[in-house]
Amino acid sequence: MPRTDALHIDWPLMIGLLALSFVSLFVLYSAGGEDMGVVIRQVLRITMAFVVMIVVAQVAPASLMRWSPYLFIVGMILLLAVWGVGVIGKGAQRWLNLGLFQFQPAEIMKLAVPMTLAWLFAKHPLPPNLKVLSLAALLLGFPVALVLKQPDLGTALMIAASGLVVIFLAGMRWQLMGLLTLASAAIAPLVWSHLHAYQQRRITTLFNPWADPLGSGYHTIQSTIAVGSGGIFGKGWLNGSQSQLEFIPERSTDFIFAVFAEEFGFVGVSILLAVYVFIVVRGIYIAYCAKESYTRLLAGGFALTFFFYVFVNIGMVSGVLPIVGVPLPLISYGGTSMVTLMAAFGILMSIHTHRKFLSR
Amino acid sequence: MPQIRIKDYASEARIFHARLFILTIVILILVSLLLGRLVYLQIGYYDHYATLSQKNRISILPITPVRGLILDRSGAVLAQNFLAYTLEIVPDQADDVSALLQELGKLIQLTPKDLKRFAHLRKQRPGFESLPLRHRLSELEAARFAVNRHRLRGADLRAHLQRHYPMGSLGVHLVGYVGRISDSDLKRIDRAVYRGMNYLGKLGVEASYEDILRGRAGYEQIETNAHGRRVRLLDRRKPHAGKNLYLNVDARLQAVAEQALGARRGAVVAMDPKTGGVLTFASTPTYDPNPFVNGIDEASYSLLRESPDKPLINRALAGRYAPGSTIKGFLGLAALESGRKASKRTFCPGYFTLRHSRHRYRCWRKSGHGSVDLQRAIVESCDVYFYDLAAELGVNKLYEFLTGFGFGRYTGIDLDGEKSGLIPSPEWKRRVHKQPWYPGETVITGIGQGYTLVTPLQLAHSLSFIANRGFGMQPRIVYAIEDRADKLIKPLKPTPSDLNPVKNKQYYEVVIKAMTDVVHGPAGTARRIGYNAKYRIAGKTGTSQVIGIKQDEVYIEKNIAERHRDHALFIAFAPVEDPRIAIAVIVENGGHGGSTAAPIARKVMDFYLQKILPQKTLGVIPSATPAVAKVKKGRLGRGLSGHKRQRSHAQN
């Protein structure tokens, strides 16, 4: 039996997360133009995120389950508020200004959507019947549509992925999935025509970035050059010419992997990937050990969504996926998404460390 | 009937674990896909991408924008740009930089300073950037380089726009100059904004309006080959030229003022009282700004810096002088506003004493003025009247009125480096000197001596309140901004001064009548400039005490006598009925305001109002009495414990 920690901390996860945070500081120092201020702010954010994680880990899964639908409702209200403000202000609107600080309601949905779906499925026998699935589709579809409207393709994708993973894990029948895949293939052209022009360009660019090397292809070309020129051992910390000469756009945030790959090469990249895989596998193991529908669906959902983030970001930077605004989890500079991410890990820890008391 | 199913935990767990297993497999496949991609990029095609990264890079070259011109109110150019050739080197493109420098040295004269600066730049900037080696090549040098260019790889000529001040030293304190961006500049400016630029405004309008004059850099995105040579142009964004500035200042009037000051140290500030437009802003001695553009040499600079005349100081803006009797008109208004009748008489026996004190504060006229009312007190500059007034009003009222007219605070002129001067208050003295306020200090504040310090700009600005009979405008150097793109000249809106001095227009008329008699009356202290004037002038003379020399000033015998003389001051506006010019003149160590400063003001006003060029001789009138209110050295200090007489003047 795994021992129960008084603080409900899962140490393998903790060590993996700490390792990533440590790497993050080094890469940021280089990507941020050797600015200690950036590093210090990131340290503060990491600390805050870890505190959130540990606090969340103290909450028993049963309480989390009870609260799930309410969190969802709050999230929806905020999203609608943002949408309303955006309609009035006639422009992209993602932030809600709460006076003291700005807040991105879409972040709540990254947690609330998988939690609510897990809650829904746990209430019903599995595999889910059509009625439950339709309800799930609504619970997933609304927030994704609202976030897509903002427009924030990256976050919408992440929320969609987290929901779909939970639905898949709940045991949706293969026939039904096959049917839906066909249907979505059919409506894909319709969705395409609704995408913003710049979003379309990002996807076409993927197939031929050199068609527009200074426009939409610039990001992909420059980040691919950075990754490729890193070679096996990399150019060395603070020595990446692509990064230091500012060829890489958004090198502290979405494209930070390019900086890392250029400076630390294939060796560094492999180690980083290993750490990510270690964390994901640990999350899957927690899901595997969980004894209740809610906890295992949620644990599985979070673990796989986390992997999805990593995959989309690295895929985008290395030029195999279109450019969507997804940060590299725990390495990129930025606050809100890190806090939500760590709250999810707090839930994973809670699930794993509370299961003794729940087991039947 | 709805189908009721019961949760089958075993089956649910089985399904879940199966699905989890499937997803784990998917994850492993995706990870190998990423790894495969990274192997492809970092190992398989490493050489390709390394080449791309190192050599075949896209570079962005900034295009320097044209800096805006500075013109006077009638369009005469005060600051312009001309084309000059600069020799530049891209260190990465040269096979051997030191050999290249040696080769270049045979063709073009390179001073040790050029080489030193280049070496310094090379340490700071990346090797692919083009770094300047020599500026302002002659035609011959440029031609010699062009012929030999093929064997001088890495070096190239570049045409630059060079700032030039065609009027030389005229109005240098006003126009200012640009200079090379220095290391200390780099710390405070936004480097992105200055990409491709080598100069920035350092002084005067050039500095204060830097953001408007600068313009915005354009850029060229070019593809370069393995040797770093330009292969093709990919994209180009045009630079935006800086905007032109039209000044309120009239260059000819400025020249008249500077010539009138001549070799003396001093300042002339003239404004249009109705708009606040600064017509003349002279500070002498002047100096030529052109050598500063590319960095003045050390010897010339130290000559300027060490000169006892302190040409580098902007006296009009930052010179602080005791206002002396020029303050009396303002105090006359204070008297009326606080209820003293203009007809109230004070007896001047030649000195003034405070109650319970035997110390005598002397009037400049030893024999006394007898019984004087406000009118006569201003016209003849009777000190005793104002000693009495100051004692009656008290220091707090004095402070309130004088700051109400803008003394002791920034005028808000559109030039950096303005000094606020000082109107003392007991609170100020406690804070700064940690000493209480003495009644005697109130008394001497009444004649503009003691701690009181004003700038020539402040004098002109405050005078405009009287000229306008109750309101003042913030001084403005720049009249309008011209956008080069649409050729639209947009005048700036005059801004009223946010001050609330005396409101009653009749009070102003009383004081203005007295000030008119200062110039035109038979006993006026400035009557020598009034008797032949074609228009009516209201003015006030003044004398600012200079006591002692600064501790760090070198004792030069030839200078010492002159340096001990008082500063001469004169403020005036004209025509009295509808003032179009308000002027303040200060001549350092000039002696009497009426004889030294007033004629300068007259020349400037003549030119402005009548376009009369100054004649060498203005005529001499017989002098009856010394026409200046003056308190001689040594008279003040006694009895004023805590009041320090040693006061340095503008050059502190």
Q: Taking the mean position of all CA atoms in its chain, how far away is CA A225?
A: 25
Distance CA B280, CA B263 (A): 18
Q: What separation in angstroms does the CA of A218 have from each of A197, A205, A303, A312, A313?
A: 16, 9, 32, 18, 17
- Residue B369 CA neighbour count, 13 Å, CB half: 28
Mean pLDDT of B538-544: 91
Taking residues B388-417, what's their average pLDDT? 92
pLDDT in tens, B193-226: 787 788 899 999 999 999 999 988 887 877 664 4
Q: B31 CB contacts (<8 Å, ≥6 apart)?
A: A273, A277, A311
Contact B30 A266 (CB under 8 A): no
B32 is an active site residue: no
Contact present, B67 and B212 (Cβ < 8 Å): no
Output the CA torsion B207→B210→B213→B216 (10° steps).
Answer: 150
Lowest mean per-residue pLDDT among A292-301, B303-312, B614-623? B614-623
Structural domain of B390: 251-610
Which of the residue ranges A24-33, B172-181, B581-590 would you say has the lowest mean pLDDT?
Answer: A24-33
- A251 at the B interface (CB within 8 A)? no
Mean pLDDT calculated for residue range B448-457: 92
Instruction: Please list every residue in chain B whose beta carbon sits closer than 8 Å to the beta carbon of residue A121.
Output: none
> Is B7 close to A273, i.e. CB distance below 8 A?
no
Question: Is residue B27, in this structure, part of any structural domain at all?
Answer: no
Identify the helix (H) or strand (E) that includes residue A269: helix A256-289
B361/B60: higher pLDDT: B361
What Å distances lie between residue A49 and A273, A343, B506, CA to CA? 22, 7, 72
pLDDT, one tens digit for every residue, chain A (360 residues)? 445 567 888 999 999 999 999 999 999 998 887 788 889 988 998 999 999 999 999 999 999 999 999 999 999 998 888 877 765 554 555 666 554 445 678 888 999 999 999 999 998 887 888 899 999 999 999 999 888 877 777 888 889 999 999 999 988 888 888 888 888 888 888 878 777 777 777 677 666 666 555 555 677 888 888 888 888 998 888 877 666 655 677 778 888 999 999 999 999 999 999 999 999 999 999 999 998 889 999 999 999 999 999 999 999 898 888 887 788 999 988 767 888 899 999 999 999 988 765 444
Chain B residues with CB under 8 Å of a chain A CB are 5-8, 11-12, 15-17, 19-20, 23-24, 27, 30-31, 33-35, 37-39, 41-43, 45-46, 48-50, 52-54, 57-58, 126, 221, 234-235
Of B11, B53, B182, B325, catalytic: B325
Among A225, A259, A291, A298, pick the best mutation site for testing chain B contact (most B Cβ within 10 A).
A225
By three-state DSSP, how is residue B541 classified? Answer: strand
**pLDDT of B326 higher than 50:** yes
Q: Smallest Cβ distance to B43: which of A266, A311, A320? A: A266
> Residues near B350 by Cβ (< 8 Å), separated by ≥ 6?
B362, B363, B365, B366, B367, B368, B384
Q: Is residue B508 part of a domain?
A: yes
Q: Provide the 8-state DSSP code for A50.
A: H
Buried b (16+ CB within 10 A) or exposed e, A239-248: ebbbbbeebb
**Most A-contacting residue of B5, B22, B41 (CB-CB within 10 A), to test interface:** B41
Question: Would you say residue B51 lies in a domain?
Answer: no
- For residue B140, name the pLDDT band (cuts at 50, 70, 90): confident
Contact B19 A171 (CB under 8 A): yes
Phi/psi at B82 (nearest 5 deg)? -135, 160
For residue A269, give the nearest of B539, B31, B442 by alpha carbon: B31
Residue B494 scores a pLDDT above 80? yes
B38 vs A284, A297, A318: nearest CB = A318
Contacts of A286 in chain B (CB under 8 A): none
- Quick one: which of A129, A128, A104 has its CA closest to A118? A128
Looking at residue B40, the DSSP 8-state letter turns out to be I
Assign A52 to helix, strand or coil. Answer: helix
Lowest-confidence segment of A233-242, B603-612, B636-645 by average pLDDT: B636-645
Which chain A residues touch B27 with a CB distance below 8 Å? 277, 280, 304, 307
Burial A1-22 (b: 16+ CB within 10 A, else e): eeeeeeebbbeebbebbebbbe
Q: What is the identity of the amino acid at B217?
A: A
In sequence order, the β-bridge partners of residue B282 are B268
Q: Which helix (H) or strand (E) holds B246?
A: strand B244-247
* Coil/strand/helix, residue B220: strand
| B285 pLDDT above the threshold of 50 | yes
Point out the residue among B30, B33, B45 whose CB comes nearest to the CB of A228: B45
**pLDDT class for B48, splitting at 50, 70, 90?**
confident
Lowest mean per-residue pLDDT among A310-314, B67-71, B232-236, B349-353:
B232-236
Q: How far off is chain B from A28, nearest CA to CA, in Å?
A: 21
Contacts with B49 from chain A: Cβ below 8 Å: 224-225, 227-229
Mean pLDDT taken over chain B: 83
B563 falls within a domain = yes
Which helix (H) or strand (E) segment holds residue B280: the answer is: strand B278-284
Q: Is A33 on the interface with B (CB under 8 A)?
A: no
Nearest residue to B321 (alpha-carbon basis) of B435, B413, B477, B450 = B450
CATH at B85:
3.90.1310.10
The least confident of A174-178, B517-521, B557-561 is: B557-561
Whether B269 shows a pLDDT value over 50: the answer reads: yes
Per-residue confidence band for B55, with pLDDT thresholds at 50, 70 and 90: low
| Contacting residues of B for A270, CB less than 8 Å apart | 35, 38
CA distances from B162 to B171, B202, B483 (A): 20, 15, 20
Interface test with A, best of B12, B24, B34, B42 (most A CBs within 10 A): B42
Question: pLDDT at position A294, please?
Answer: 92
| Contacts A171 to B, Cβ<8 Å | 12, 15-16, 19
d(CA B399, CA B394) in angstroms, rounded, equals 9
Q: Is the pLDDT of residue B162 over 50?
A: yes
Sequence letter at residue B401: F
3-state secondary structure of B48: helix
Gap from B217 CA to chain A (nearest CA, Å): 18
The reply to whether residue A284 touches residue B24, judged by beta carbons under 8 angstroms, is yes
Query: Is there a domain that residue B629 lies in?
Result: no
Neighbours of B633 (CB within 10 A): 14
Quick check: B503 and B470 in contact, CB under 8 A? Answer: yes
Quote the ipTM score: 0.90
CB contact under 8 A, A261 and B38: yes
Chain A residues close to B126, C-beta within 8 Å: 245
Pairing of strands B478-483, B244-247: antiparallel
| In B177-250, alpha helices (H) | 183-188, 204-208, 210-214
Residues B153, B257, single domain; the answer is no
- Which of B136, B165, B194 finishes a domain? B165
Q: What is the average per-residue pLDDT within B94-117?
A: 87
The answer to whether residues A328 and A196 touch, using CB atoms and an 8 Å cutoff, is no
The pLDDT of residue B117 is above 90: no
Could you tell me where the beta strands, DSSP code E, fall in B434-532? 478-483, 488-491
pLDDT at residue B641 above 60?
no
CB atoms B16 and A318 under 8 Å: no
Q: Which residues of B367-402 are buried (b: 16+ CB within 10 A; e: fewer)?
A: ebbeebbbbbbbbbbbbbbbbbbbbebebebbbbbb
d(CA A85, CA A73): 18
Is B283 a residue whose pLDDT tops 90?
Answer: yes
A127 upstream amide cis, omega within 30 of 0: yes
Which of these three, B165, B187, B219, is where a domain ends? B165
User: Which residue on chain A is closest to B4 by alpha carbon?
Assistant: A125
CA of A231 to nearest chain B CA: how many angstroms apart?
4
Structurally, how many domains does chain B consist of?
A: 2
Are both B305 and B442 inside the same structural domain? yes
Lowest mean pLDDT among A185-199, B416-430, B477-491: A185-199
